[in-house]
Structure 1
Amino acid sequence: MDKGIKKVRKSINQRKKMRGLNPRDTHSKPYLPSFPQEEEKHGYFPIFTDNTGTSKNTSQRISGFAVKGILSVMLFLGTALLFQTDAELLTGPKKWTGNALTEEFPFASVNQWYQETFGAPMALTPSKDQDEDEEKSLALPVSGSVSESFQANGTGIMIAPEKASNVSSLRGGVVIFAGNDTETNKTVIVQHADSSKTVYGYLSSIDVHLYQFVDKNQMLGKIEPSTENDMVYFAIEKENEYVDPVQVIKVDDSP
């Protein structure tokens, strides 16, 4: 009887070995049912997808930002070292760099070059020809009399209009400033093709925006005389020096 039982057990063990099972493991490791994980209780099931492409794009963006940051730092340090060096060989580059950092971009000059080269205005410019009637005598940007001369003011003239009036651009150009100035309050500055600038200050309202191309005699804003403000400031700046507007345009001086 014992021999028969041993044979049966031996045959069972052989079958288990053929199936890849260890008979000892079946006795030592009890079967444990799988219970749902914490995420699965709340209806979340992990999704196994290939994120290789996404991670590659992310790494490319990060590397691109890193390269730009390194180049910016190198440019900054190079400029700083350039201004700290007194070598005569670097005088030219130093002067060019200083002008590039301090001078304004010549928008109006570029626009004029574009028209002369391609025969049509840039997309942002008005459809009218900006040089139309340019040879005709210029007039004040607002109707009125000069209440303060260039000699008395030092930089421009003060014009006193008789009533509420529009303030117009002396010539065609591009607006490089439109907002509140610390000295002349609401002010518009227009840059022209010859790199000169005209300044219109103490306005009651501004009707143009920054980098807008304007025609000759186009309205820039309005002046509404009041007890607080009844004059318009007008100045012409050329080659970093102020010019007497009376010498440039026709002006009716006040008695």
Structure 2
Amino acid sequence: MMSKRIKQVRRSIEQRKKVRGIQTNGIAQQQMFSPFVQEEEKHGYSPIYDDSGSSSTMKSKVVSNFLLKAILSVLLFLSIAILWQINLPQLEEPKAWLTNALTEEFPFAKVNAWYQETFGSPLALLPGSDSAVESKDKQAMPVNGSVSESFQMNGTGIKITPEGKTAVTALKQGVVIFAGNDQKTKQTIIVQHPDDSQTTYGFLSNIDVHLYQHVSANQVIGQFNPSKENKSVYFSIEMDNQYIDPVQVIQVDDVE
């Protein structure tokens, strides 16, 4: 009985091989698969599975993930742009957080300087960079005038009093990381420089640059017109989170 049973199993295996297109010498001609293990497969026959489709599936998943990330990046960029155009009190806090994230964590000026040294021109993605040419002139104060409040008196910067209406210029090349109204210094511009320093120009009458614009040394960035409320321009230099006395860096007139 056992011998007869074994013969029946062998005949069944041969028949299955013929149905599946597999010759008795073991050379595969055509593969048909069954998701369930049959009784005779326990006695020496194992189906051969082809995973050629799995690699293409993985590639498809990688491409899909890349496209999804690209779409999300574009949506994020558009959302930020729209957020910046909307002037609502409840959006001031998100704007402040975003400004801090973009200015404090990303060195725009340093990246732009590297790009300019490598490719010979300012980074085209930065607004105004195509017309900004770095000046080799000696560093000068943002306005011509006398220092009416020293660094020792002010604690963070100095105040310069010009004789009349004047243009305000950037100390050296960099990227504008703030251009707007500050609680302490009113209309203010902050420029980030490639050496990780930043300069602040406050109490301006007009602002002639915009956020993330590339500026060159001695480029006009704003205007100042003395008034009864304010007769001086605020100017400060900050390096490594510490304020530096501008008078120690640039030669200026004595304090009145």
TM-score w.r.t. the length of structure 2 is 0.58
Q: Which residue of 1 aligns with 2:120?
A: 119
SS in 2 for 1:211: coil
Higher Cα Rg, which structure: 1
Note the C-alpha offset of 1:102.
8.4
1:26-175 matched pairs, under 5 angstroms? 103-123=104-124, 124=126, 125-130=129-134, 132-133=135-136, 136-175=137-176
What is the letter of the counterpart of residue 182 of structure 2? D
State the TM-score, normalizing by the size of structure 1.
0.58
**Match for residue 197 of structure 2?**
196
User: What is the SS of the residue equivalent to 1:116?
Assistant: helix
Whether 2:248 is the aligned partner of 1:247: answer yes
Q: Does the aligned pair in 2 maintain the 1:137–1:249 contact within 8 Å? A: no
Matches of 2:103 and 2:172, distance apart in 1: 25
Hey, what's the Cα distance between the residues in 2 that align with 1:115 and 1:137? 20
One-letter amino acid of the structure 1 residue matched with residue 130 of structure 2 = P
Name the amino acid aligned to 1:232: V
Counterpart CA distance in 1 for 2:170 and 2:103 is 25
Deviation per residue, 1:132-178 (Å, 9 max, x gap)? 31xx5321100110000000100000011110000100001110000
CA RMSD of aligned residues (A): 2.5
Please tell me whether the aligned partners of residues 126 and 215 of structure 1 are also in contact (alpha carbons under 8 angstroms).
Answer: no
- The total of aligned residue pairs comes to 160
Per-residue CA deviation, residues 200-237 of structure 1 (Å, 9 max, x unaligned), is 00001111100011111111111111101111000000
Aligned partner of 2:188 in structure 1 is 187
- Matched to 2:206, the amino acid is S
Q: State the partner residue of 2:58.
A: none
Deviation at 1:250, TM superposition (A): 1.1
* Partner secondary structure for residue 193 of structure 1: coil
Structure 2 residue 199 is matched with structure 1 residue 178: no
Instruction: Give CA deviations for 1:68-87 in whole Å, capped at 9, x if unaligned.
Output: 6xxx9xxxxxxxxxxxxxxx
Q: Which structure 1 segments of 5+ residues have no match? A: 1-59, 73-98
**Displacement after TM superposition at 1:183 (Å):** 0.5
> Could you tell me how far 1:101 is from its partner in structure 2?
8.5
Q: Matched residues in 2 for 1:165 and 1:101: separation?
A: 31
% identical equivalent positions: 61
Q: Distance in 2 between matches of 1:217 and 1:102?
A: 22
